Structures are given as C-alpha cells and as structure tokens.
Amino acid sequence: MQFFASLAALAATAATLVSANSVTFVNQDETVRRIIFTPNDGFASMDTIEVEASGTSKVEFSQGWIGNWYAVSEGYEDVPGMLGEVAFNGWNDLTYYDVSAIVNATDTNGVKEMFPLSQMNLTTKTSFSGCKTFPCNTVYIQWDDVQTVTTSETDLVCTLGTSPETVEKRAEHNLVARHYVLGKLS
Ligand SMILES: *[C@@H]1O[C@H](CO)[C@@H](O)[C@H](O)[C@H]1NC(C)=O
Ligand SMILES: *[C@@H]1O[C@H](CO)[C@@H](O)[C@H](O)[C@H]1NC(C)=O
C-alpha cells in the first residue's frame, strides 16, 4: 500500500516537472486589461492578473487544470465576456482549448484568439480558435459546436483586443468533435 502511494506521489511529481502548463496573454492594443479566471469545480483558483497596454503576461497552470477566463478592459465593469477555455493534460495527453462566445457573444473587445505558443510568429496558423474580429466562424458558439482544438503542446497564447492585422488567414484546423460522429452509413 505504502509502495503504491509512493509511486503515485512520484508520478505526480514527475508530471508536474515535465508539464509546465502556461498561457501567454498578448495585449494587441493600448488598452490595459484584467484577466479573470474561473476554474471548473475542483481545480485551483487563479489570481486575477493585469496585462499592460501592448504588454504580455505569462500565467502558469497546475497539472490537468480545467477552466476558463475572460478579459475586462480598464474602466469597464467586471462582466463575463468572450471566454478562453482550456483543459490541460487531457485525454491522450493533449491540451484542449477554444474561444467561446456562448456566455457573451457581444464582447468583441476582449479574448480574441488562442493557439499553441510555437505558432506565435507564424502568419498562417494551422491550429487556432477564435477570431481577430467577431463574429467569425472559428469560435465556439453552440453547445454542440466543434471548435475545440487540440495540441500536444502545453504552452498556449491568448490574444486580447484589436489586432493590427485585419486579414484572417487560416490553413487547416485540428478539430475534435465534442461528440463522435461515426461517418455516414448511406
Ligand atoms: C457582454 O460583454 C460586454 C463587453 O464586456 C458587456 O458590455 C456586456 O454587458 C456583457 N453582457 C452580459 C450579458 O454580461
Ligand atoms: C517570436 O519572435 C520574437 C521576436 O523575434 C521572439 O522574441 C520570440 O521568442 C518568438 N516566439 C516564439 C514562440 O518563437
């Protein structure tokens, strides 16, 4: 019994070491924004952070953290807006993420896009959720929508505010359906 308990503790430690989950928040304009995090039940609460005008802030998350966040521009009321959602170290050891308009689709000035950190400097991102300007069809709008994206990376970027770029470029998209559809049997 003790042996298994020790093994489990060791595995937990190893997992924590190999997987430093993070989201780098990138403020694309001159507005200071706060990020308010909402963990799913049972996951660690996260302190609200402030992202400077045109600044970036990197936030680290515990192993397996699941939850979401929204951005509030300086001088505005704290009301939930466009959500960034993430499940780190999920099924198949993938990170699941999406930008969701379900709670408040009228927030067009907060959370914009999410993608793996390695794609930060690519003009054509192969794996992202969200939009540079809303509305668009790369955001999660309905409950059974399939805009949840996966990556084997544990470091993500979440852009905020207005991007200087206006042209949306989108190559292919790694989609994972919320429910599996087993092809047409016609
Ligand atoms: C949605 O977000 C916008 C922008 O932050 C805000 O003005 C509005 O009050 C929010 N709506 C609701 C229902 O919270
Ligand atoms: C993106 O480019 C900037 C500026 O050259 C560099 O500092 C940064 O490390 C790059 N980020 C990634 C993830 O490659």
Residue 123: inside a domain, yes or no? Answer: yes
Residue 101: inside a domain, yes or no? Answer: yes
Task: Quote the domain boundaries for residue 86.
Answer: 20-172
Residue 164: inside a domain, yes or no? Answer: yes
Spacing, Cα 134 to ligand 1 middle (Å): 14
For residues 38 and 66, give the distance between their C-alpha atoms in angstroms, rounded to a whole number: 9
Residue 130: inside a domain, yes or no? Answer: yes
pLDDT digit string (tens) for 105-119? 888 899 999 999 999
Residue 182: inside a domain, yes or no? Answer: no
- Into how many domains does the chain fold? 1
The finding on whether 81 has its CB within 6 A of some atom of ligand 1 is yes
Residue 165: inside a domain, yes or no? Answer: yes
Residue 185: inside a domain, yes or no? Answer: no
* CB hemisphere CA count around 82 (13 angstroms): 28
Ligand of minimum distance to the alpha carbon of 58: 2
Q: What is the CATH number of the domain that holds 72?
A: 2.60.110.10
pLDDT digit string (tens) for 122-175? 988 888 888 887 777 666 665 555 568 899 999 999 999 998 764 344 443 444
Ligand of minimum distance to the alpha carbon of 102: 1
Report the nearest atom of ligand 2 relative to the CA of 120: 13
